[in-house]
A and B are shown apart, each in its own frame.
Chain A
Amino acid sequence: MRRWLLPALLLAALLGLWQIACSTGAIADALSLEDFLVPSPAEIASSLWENRDLLAENAWVTLREMVLGILAALVVGVGFAILMHSSRLLRDAAYPLVVASQTIPIVVISPILVVWFGYGITPKIVIVALICFFPITVNALDGLRSVDPEAVKMMRSLDASRWQRFRRAEAPAALPNLFTGIKISVVIAPIAAVFAEWAGSSSGLGHLIQSDTANFEVARQFATVAVLSALALALIGLTALAERRVVTWR
């Protein structure tokens, strides 16, 4: 109860302050702006309601980009982690490259991917997957390597094959780390999806924000941000739920 109530109260207080600051024109005056450029929470809420169909339509587009991107990163990242775990040679060769790949800014490569894959959903999935690949791979690999060397000896002595050691000892041990990686991915996936849409798209929440900037639709921009944030929160909640279902021994 306390876990939910306190942040909810704080949020209500902040929104209240914001509402008062807007109705007195304090923020717009301080920034020397027209009043309509600084929407109040009430105006944002009504924009949210009036544009519900448009927002839902675009939210569905962005949600698909995020979920498919995370799933692609999960499949490739876990596969890569297993390969690097099973071969010392491959790990020594590929791990520095995996880390180095993170120095490439996504803003720079997303236009290239649009050129390659067009304006459809594919470049968005690729960009989300590229961003989420790193936390998933690194955490999964750490998890696989977290197994006690003594436990490996014990398993060997209990007639475990390489596959059985993986299946019964290493893979379950890696699950908590893997979920950490997924949670980080879920948090950064909306940023990746918005960047991907900015690089070239005709729909999605990122696209909506971009076109609203041109038209000074500030209230709807805030409403769009709220929807994006709600999507991310829902995904985090789902991941936490899945973790509790799967990692039952903690």
Chain B
Amino acid sequence: MKLEIGGASHAYGDLQTLDSLDLAVEAQSVIGLVGPSGCGKSTLLELICGLQEQSAGTISVEGQTAADERLSRCAFMPQRDLLLPWYSAIDNAALALRNQGMGRREAREAAGTLFERFGLAGFEAVRPGELSGGMRQRVAFLRTLVAGKPVLALDEPFASLDAITRAEMQEWLATALRTDPRTVVLVTHDVEEALYLCDRVAVLSARPARIVAELSAPAPRAADRDAAVTDPAFVAAREEALRALREGSA
């Protein structure tokens, strides 16, 4: 198992956010975490990444349980792209490499090959302020990918985008993960997005969060998104997830 969570609980003061949560994620698989707003999804993600400490239970990434060990194995992509406006797109994408001590030219070259592969060629020198919302998310995802971490933790990466751009970005991410498979934890409030992009989807209850259902996606990251999401098996899985979500929020 790439990632294992056993009996993890977390609280902010008196506010219990996670209640004895168990989860296991295999290498190179994508797990979706869906749940009602404010249920602690993002907290769980930060716990996995070692950005916070749980109050009980264990969380291990590649067998390592210490928070700083988890931090060095997970790349966190926050909800907003948070591209640094003073750096060009390529320098934003290469940020982790620079932090890891690579020289500017090498870091740009390494990130540049991904720009070509992921349809961003020609935008290397552009400042984030001049990019569209979808493009910014692509650069933010590449920044996460370039870090070369075994686990990618994505926190509602497409929540800020309009419906059309979001569908495009889901297809784009599906393609990216087909060509470059990674272990991914994807937090989203969009059941359809989770079932399209993930192998498995864990439905969380309202706070304090626990897992109320775990579903397998019928056709993860299918090349034809429109066909995949209208397939009867997909529709049935979506209804099941929604039912679990409603029951968990009650």
Contacts and interface: CB of A to CB of B under 8 A. Distances in A.
A202 B133 CA distance: 62
A32 to B, nearest CB: 61
A144 to B, nearest CB: 15
* 5 interchain residue pairs of minimum CB distance: A157-B76, A158-B96, A249-B85, A172-B86, A150-B78
Given A151-B84, A154-B77, 17 more contacts: A148-B80, A153-B51, A153-B78, A156-B51, A156-B71, A157-B147, A158-B95, A158-B96, A158-B99, A158-B147, A159-B96, A159-B100, A161-B99, A164-B98, A168-B99, A172-B84, A249-B129
B165 interface: no
Interface of A: 148, 150-151, 153-161, 164, 168-169, 172, 248-250
A99 B77 CA distance: 38
A160 B84 CA distance: 14
Interface string B197-232: 000000000000000000000000000000000000
B78 A154 contact: yes
Interface residues of B, number: 27
B174 interface: no
The residue in A154, A155, A249 that gathers the most chain B C-beta atoms within 10 A of its C-beta is A154
A157 B51 contact: yes
Contacts of B143: 158
Nearest to B147: A158
A150 B79 contact: yes
Contacts of B77: 154
Nearest to B87: A168
Interface of B: 46, 49, 51, 71-72, 74-80, 82, 84-87, 95-96, 98-100, 127, 129, 143, 147, 153
A148 B82 CA distance: 8
Contact of B76 (A148, A154, A161, A249): A154
Contacts of A150: 78-80, 82
9 contacts: A150-B82, A153-B46, A153-B49, A153-B78, A157-B51, A158-B75, A158-B95, A158-B96, A158-B143
Contacts of B76: 153-154, 156-158
Contact of B75 (A151, A157, A160): A157
Contacts of B96: 158-159
